[in-house]
Structures are given as structure tokens and as C-alpha cells.
């Protein structure tokens, strides 16, 4: 990175920067543990004559060492073949009408805030606003080391219970939204897509972007006819770039489809897809008549629903990964 001309090739430079971030995430926790141990040895030597003088610092160091070991143990859970990849996340409202569309937008905000806490970047691929409130469909890419490894814990149907802000009688409403997560695969990953199996539609992009974006048919929608998978991208000014992004997302979804054939828990997203409604949810967010957020797979729960919706998702993600690790051992 320090070589002259490193930034001349921006695309290559970004890949190197991402590799550096990945290496740093592996090396830094180990270096910190080594430093804690060295400091501990020094404190022990200093306290030979008066142990009480260093007891508090040793206890603090012990706690920091235990926390660091927990961090490394969690890192070992992110060992899937594509866990290190960026995550392509698609949100879609289900049963619940306007409240469901609004809930999908709440989940979008939650993931954007979670990504910011982890210093991840978020790029919008496709955004379809609902007519009255909320979103009809949105696809984003969360970019950062192990983004997919963490975000795969969020895949499934989410349920919200609250007093509806769209109901004039202030009645309690239950609504649902689905979260689909696939890894962003590199261009050299082999997934064959035949031209005859694709339907390509072009249309004018909606929303912000300037006159060029909104007045030319730069947006792309790809439909994979054998599977019915649909991917859209409208954020780039160039139709060619939108097509490349859409193809990358489609390849990722087709890869996940192959995994779904081997993993029963993913079957509800492809082929035998469950409805986005009662009986299929993985997590409930209850705002009324009490405050509770509970993951139905891991039993992890908290009464701080506002904190969860503000991006405090790590306890749920860690609970899911620990569950998967214990299942793998069994």
C-alpha cells in the first residue's frame, strides 16, 4: 500500500485494502493478548514485595484476557467457505399491509446502524419505495471482513408487534418482513448462467441520482427463468455497471440455491419457500403490550427492543453462531 502508484488502479487498491482489514482482524486480537500477558508478568514481578499494590491491575488484566479469548473463540465460528465475504441483503415486507412495509424499512435502518458500528460500508443496489409508507423491496451490500459470516444469522422471517401508527383506532398490529442474505462472490467463482436462461429488462431508475439516471433506461432487472430468481440494480449511472452488479448478485443467489438443496433450513427461501407470515418467523420484536425481542431459534432475548432496532445485534448473531457450532459438533 505504501508503494508509489498504489491508488492508480482504484479497483485493485480497494481489494488490497479489504485484504489488509481482514488480516488486521486476525492479527490484532492475538497481539493484544500477548501484550496483556507481558504486562501481567511485569506486574507479578513488581508485586513480589507487596502483592496488594498490584492486585487490582492484575484482576483487570485477567478480565481483559478472558474477553480477548472470547473474541478469538468467536472468530473461529466464522470459518465457513464464504464467511469472509461481503453480504448481499434483500428485505421484503410480508403479511401486515402498510405496517409490514414500514417494518421492512425499520429493519433496513437497523442493519445500516449495525454496519456502522462495525465500521462496515453499505451500498444500495435496489430500492423500491412503497406507495403509502416504508419499502416494497430493497437490496443492499454490506461490505467488510466477515460481513456475510455475521449477517447470515439474520436470514429468515422477522415479526413485529406494536400499536399501529397507521391505524386511526390505535389497535395492535402484527406484521412480518423477510431478510434474505447471500455472500457476494468474486468474479472468478464458477457459476454457469446460460444466456437462454436469462430475461433482461431495462427501465428508468427511480429516486435520487440526477437527470441522467432518471431519464435513461440504465436500471437492469435480471430474471433467471429456471429458478424464478429476480435481481435488480439501478444505482449506477451506466447500464453496463448495473448489469455487472446484478449478474454478481444473481450468481451469489444461485450459489446459495445449491446450498439450499443440501441444507434443509434454507429451503424456505428457495424452491419450497415459506410465506412471510405466522409460523415462519425466526425473531419477534414486541413493542406492545410489553417490550421484548426474542430469537426463537436460540432463545436469546432482551427487553431493550429500541437498542436492537438501533443496531445492537451482536448478542443475537453470536447466539446463532454458537448454536450452529454446537450442532456441527453433535
What DSSP element (H or E) covers 115? helix 98-117
Read off the pTM.
Answer: 0.69
Evaluate whether 13 touches 6 at the Cβ level (below 8 Å).
yes
CATH number of the 195-261 domain: 3.30.160.20
> For residue 207, how many other CB atoms are within 10 A of its CB?
12
Bin 311: left if φ > 0, else alpha if -120 < ψ < 50, else beta: left
Task: For cell 416494497, name the residue.
Answer: 136
CATH number of the 87-188+273-329 domain: 3.30.70.1660
Query: Whole-angstrom Cα distance, residue 242 to residue 250?
Result: 12
Residue 221: which of 194, 181, 250 has the closest Cα?
A: 250
Burial 278-316 (b: 16+ CB within 10 A, else e): eebbbbbbbbeeeeebbbebbebeeeebeebbebbbebb
Query: Whole-angstrom Cα distance, residue 298 to residue 84?
Result: 23
Q: What is the pLDDT along the chain (330 residues), one digit of tens a residue?
A: 888 889 998 888 888 887 888 788 778 888 888 888 888 888 888 888 888 888 888 888 888 888 888 778 777 788 777 888 899 999 999 988 999 999 999 999 999 999 999 999 999 988 889 888 899 999 999 998 889 999 999 999 999 999 999 888 888 999 999 999 988 876 555 677 888 888 888 877 765 544 444 556 678 888 988 888 888 888 777 788 888 888 888 888 887 777 666 555 444 444 334 566 666 789 999 998 899 999 999 999 999 999 999 999 999 999 999 888 877 766
Amino acid at each position: 500500500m505504501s508503494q508509489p502508484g498504489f491508488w492508480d488502479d482504484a479497483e485493485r487498491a480497494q481489494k488490497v485494502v479489504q485484504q489488509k482489514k481482514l488480516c488486521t482482524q486476525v492479527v490484532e486480537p492475538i497481539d493484544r493478548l500477548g501484550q496483556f500477558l507481558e504486562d501481567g508478568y511485569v506486574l507479578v514481578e513488581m508485586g513480589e514485595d507487596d502483592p496488594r499494590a498490584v492486585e487490582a491491575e492484575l484482576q483487570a488484566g485477567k478480565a481483559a484476557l478472558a474477553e480477548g479469548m472470547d473474541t478469538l473463540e468467536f472468530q473461529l465460528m466464522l470459518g465457513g467457505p464464504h464467511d469472509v465475504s461481503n453480504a448481499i441483503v434483500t428485505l421484503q415486507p410480508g403479511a401486515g399491509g402498510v405496517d409490514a412495509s414500514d417494518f421492512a424499512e425499520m429493519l433496513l435502518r437497523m442493519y445500516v446502524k449495525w454496519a456502522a458500528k462495525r465500521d462496515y460500508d453499505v451500498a444500495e443496489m435496489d430500492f423500491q419505495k412503497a406507495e403509502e409508507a416504508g419499502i416494497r423491496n430493497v437490496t443492499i451490500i454490506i461490505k467488510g471482513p466477515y460481513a456475510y459470516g455475521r449477517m447470515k444469522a439474520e436470514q429468515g422471517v422477522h415479526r413485529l408487534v406494536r400499536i399501529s401508527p397507521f391505524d386511526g383506532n390505535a389497535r395492535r398490529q402484527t406484521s412480518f418482513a423477510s431478510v434474505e442474505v447471500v455472500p457476494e462472490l468474486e468474479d472468478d467463482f464458477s457459476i454457469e448462467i446460460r444466456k437462454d436462461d436469462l430475461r433482461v429488462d431495462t427501465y428508468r431508475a427511480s429516486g435520487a441520482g440526477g437527470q441522467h439516471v432518471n431519464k435513461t433506461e440504465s436500471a437492469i432487472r435480471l430474471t433467471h427463468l429456471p429458478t424464478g430468481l429476480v435481481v435488480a440494480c439501478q444505482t449506477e449511472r451506466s447500464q453496463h455497471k448495473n448489469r455487472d452488479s446484478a449478474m454478481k448478485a444473481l450468481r451469489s443467489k444461485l450459489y446459495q440455491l445449491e446450498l439450499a438443496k443440501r441444507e434443509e433450513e434454507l429451503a424456505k427461501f428457495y424452491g419450497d419457500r415459506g410465506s412471510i407470515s405466522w409460523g415462519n418467523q425466526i425473531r419477534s420484536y414486541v413493542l406492545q403490550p410489553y417490550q421484548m425481542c426474542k430469537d426463537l431459534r436460540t432463545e436469546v432475548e432482551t427487553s431493550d427492543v429500541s437498542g436492537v432496532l438501533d443496531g445492537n445485534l451482536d448478542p443475537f448473531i453470536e447466539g446463532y453462531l454458537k448454536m450452529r457450532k454446537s450442532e456441527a459438533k453433535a
